[in-house]
Structure 1
Amino acid sequence: MDWRRKIVEAFSQWIDHVEAAILASSESMRSARRLRLVEGRDGAFSAQASSDKASPDWPKEPIRIVDGRIDPAASASWAPMFNRARVELVLQPHRFMFRPLELPGRASDFLGGIIRAQIDRLTPWSAADAAFGWRPSSEVVNDRIIVTIAATARSLIMPFVNPFSGFGVESVIVSAPLQEAGSEAESIKVFEQKVKGAIDAHRLRRALVALLIGASALSVAAVAAAVIVGGDYRSERARQSASASQRSPRRSSSAAI
């Protein structure tokens, strides 16, 4: 029935809104450790702090990802660092395609939609198959801006992203460096996967559905109880009315005598 479908959609939208609000509030109160791993020319990843110096608390051995798995020799020492961390992977530039795009200056507020609509023209991939990001130029000349777009295939970066999902990370970010082993300001984020958030969202959604089902069951039970009590009350009133009606003729007969 159409009305049943509308009710289900309304409940689903309510759950989506509540879930998004709770997760957003949780993320704002939770500060995850940032761990930046830069891929070297040999394919190994090394830690890099914002100050371009590796933290002394971080393991010194590099991380290698082979056949979609983190080298076990490195994972044993790095596992505690991954827990509840936001891991950023800065891959080598040759893994990306860089394209300049000239746009009107007023387009700066709509770059996301503009680039997404043109990504299949600028790259060999569709928007669904590509991982891409952009960085606009800081200068506006003749009301025109130059946007640098970095893109690659999702299938190419997922073997680097997936191995971290089993270490309790908050999220995994993939960035394209504009320069070899560049600083954070010289890279473009092309992809982010919220691993911990996805697990939390799944658990939260199940809890909200269970809560909604429980509330519905209580409502049905309350309505049923009200109907039963109301029925008993009406039956008792009817019985009392009938009893009073039976006594009334007798009183009239006694008065007549």
Structure 2
Amino acid sequence: MAMLAEARQWFEQWIGAVAVTVDGVAGRFMRRRSVELDENADGTFTARIAQAKDGALAAPVSFRLDQDAPLPQLSADWKAAFDGCRIEARLRSDHIVSRVLDFPSQAGDFLDGMIRAQVDRLTPWTAADAVFGWGPPQPIANDRIEVVFGATAAAKVDPLLRLAKTLGAASIAVSAPATGGDGVPLLVTLLDRPLRGLAGPAVPRLLRVGLVSAAATAAVCLLLNVYLGGWLQSRQEDLQHRISQRRAALRIDANGDGSGLGLLAKRKQTTPSSVMVLEAISRVLPDTTYVTELRIEGNKVQVVGMTQDAPSLIRLLEQSPQFTRATFFAPTTRAANESAERFHVEANISAYFGSGT
């Protein structure tokens, strides 16, 4: 029964994966109608069709939200236009928090984590209660990048999401105006979310033929497991027993008298001590760097502290023969009252720290 339950679960996952693939392929070749939804100063919204070809929908329509429904009610033509469309909503700047952030240029691959960790400091909301986004990074002086950040409360966007689902839209994107560091206005996308699959409920019906063949294959596999599973299990246990015996014999041959002194000597040479790791770290880091935390876990070392140039630490650690694969394991931050950057770096420790003599 457990095997049948696992097979059923696998079938369900397979159906979902194929459905997602069909949606992705269909999304590339199918063009959805786009409806632009602009927020007005009085809290109402104006909808217009991008590149409208239907004369009945050429004129925009305005409405307000009343319990997640448009008031006055939309005409039949507009309801049909919203069904399966992509809604591009643009909010006013009244309820938007906009900031211009700067980071080291090497932090471009970590912007999501670095910005998400600062949402509660940049806005009145936590990351869970806010909808936020940022524009493309722009290079500025001193090897740094500038990012335009925008956010609003999730309660401001939730009514639009419920409206889009009520009208049967396929997806919705919410953006807000912001101003870059050079004074150029731009739109920051706060949310871009699909609301339903393109293939729809027809996907499971299309997969029924595939399920029949898959069920036949599963039945054959179950029979093979019943008749051959026990034999394969016994063979595996026998091989594991022989491998264990062979490894024990090799250890005795390597140690000579089997006293284990050779293993202890080898472990001493291949296991880095905390003192040697600390000495290697002190030689690598520049004088302008201050370490506040040092953790050694297995073959990895994590260093936390303050420095003037956090990205350069990766290069210095990589150049050292004692460390490899140096990377940031947490965002690099700079507080308003601090001139240095707070870094979080980890690296693999080379197991060999000295000669055997």
Please indicate the TM-score interval, normalised by the length of the shorter structure: 0.5 to 0.7
The amino acid of 1:167's aligned partner reads L
Aligned to 1:39: 39
Distance in 2 between the 1:188 and 1:224 partners? 54
Aligned to 1:218: 216
Residue 113 of structure 1 aligns to a residue whose secondary structure is: helix
How far apart are 1:144 and its partner, in Å? 1.4
- Say which is worse superposed, 110-119 or 155-164, in terms of deviation: 110-119
Aligned to 1:24: 24
Residue 61 of structure 2 aligns to a residue whose secondary structure is: coil
1:90 aligns with 2:85: no
Residue 186 of structure 1 aligns to a residue whose secondary structure is: strand
How far apart are 1:6 and its partner, in Å? 7.2
TM-score normalised to structure 1 length = 0.67
How far apart are 1:82 and its partner, in Å? 1.3
Residue 43 of structure 1 aligns to a residue whose secondary structure is: coil
Aligned residues of 1:58 and 1:81 also touching (Cα < 8 A): no
Distance in 1 between the 2:210 and 2:122 partners? 46
Aligned residues of 1:105 and 1:145 also touching (Cα < 8 A): yes
How far apart are 1:213 and its partner, in Å? 5.6
Deviations 1:193-219 (A, max 9, x none): 31232883x764x55886676445434
Aligned to 1:132: 132
Distance in 1 between the 2:118 and 2:209 partners? 44
Q: Structure 1 residues 58, 111: CA separation in 2 closer, same or farther (over 3 Å shift)?
A: farther
Aligned residues of 2:34 and 2:50 also touching (Cα < 8 A): no
Distance in 2 between the 1:18 and 1:61 partners? 39
Distance in 1 between the 2:117 and 2:141 partners? 24
Aligned to 1:186: 186
Distance in 2 between the 1:8 and 1:175 partners? 42
Distance in 2 between the 1:4 and 1:106 partners? 50
How far apart are 1:166 and its partner, in Å? 2.8
Aligned to 1:103: 103
Residue 63 of structure 1 aligns to a residue whose secondary structure is: strand
Number of residues of Structure 1 aligned to a counterpart in Structure 2: 218
Residue 197 of structure 1 aligns to a residue whose secondary structure is: coil
Q: Structure 1 residues 215, 153: CA separation in 2 closer, same or farther (over 3 Å shift)?
A: farther
Aligned residues of 2:48 and 2:59 also touching (Cα < 8 A): no
Residue 169 of structure 2 aligns to a residue whose secondary structure is: coil
The amino acid of 1:158's aligned partner reads D
Residue 59 of structure 1 aligns to a residue whose secondary structure is: coil
CA RMSD of aligned residues (A): 3.9
Aligned to 2:149: 149
Aligned residues of 2:103 and 2:144 also touching (Cα < 8 A): yes
The amino acid of 2:150's aligned partner reads A
How far apart are 1:14 and its partner, in Å? 4.1
Higher RCO (Cα < 8 Å, 6 or more apart): 1
Q: Structure 1 residues 20, 128: CA separation in 2 closer, same or farther (over 3 Å shift)?
A: farther
Larger Rg: 1
Distance in 2 between the 1:223 and 1:145 partners? 56
The amino acid of 1:218's aligned partner reads A
Question: Structure 1: where are the runs of 5+ without partners?
Answer: 180-184, 227-257
Matches within 5 A, 1:158-173: 158-173=158-173
Residue 196 of structure 2 aligns to a residue whose secondary structure is: helix
The amino acid of 2:128's aligned partner reads A
Q: Structure 1 residues 225, 50: CA separation in 2 closer, same or farther (over 3 Å shift)?
A: closer
How far apart are 1:46 and its partner, in Å? 2.2
Q: Structure 1 residues 25, 131: CA separation in 2 closer, same or farther (over 3 Å shift)?
A: same
Distance in 1 between the 2:120 and 2:6 partners? 36
Distance in 1 between the 2:208 and 2:111 partners? 40
How far apart are 1:2 and its partner, in Å? 9.3
Question: Structure 2: where are the runs of 5+ without partners?
Answer: 180-184, 225-357
Distance in 2 between the 1:113 and 1:208 partners? 40
Aligned to 1:238: none
The amino acid of 1:86's aligned partner reads R
Question: What is the percent sequence identity of the aligned residues?
Answer: 31
Q: Structure 1 residues 9, 72: CA separation in 2 closer, same or farther (over 3 Å shift)?
A: same
Aligned residues of 1:38 and 1:45 also touching (Cα < 8 A): yes
TM-score normalised to structure 2 length = 0.50
Residue 125 of structure 2 aligns to a residue whose secondary structure is: coil
Structure having the higher helix fraction is 1
Q: Structure 1 residues 49, 114: CA separation in 2 closer, same or farther (over 3 Å shift)?
A: farther
Deviations 1:105-140 (A, max 9, x none): 222233223222332333343333321110145342
Structure having the higher strand fraction is 2
Aligned to 2:299: none
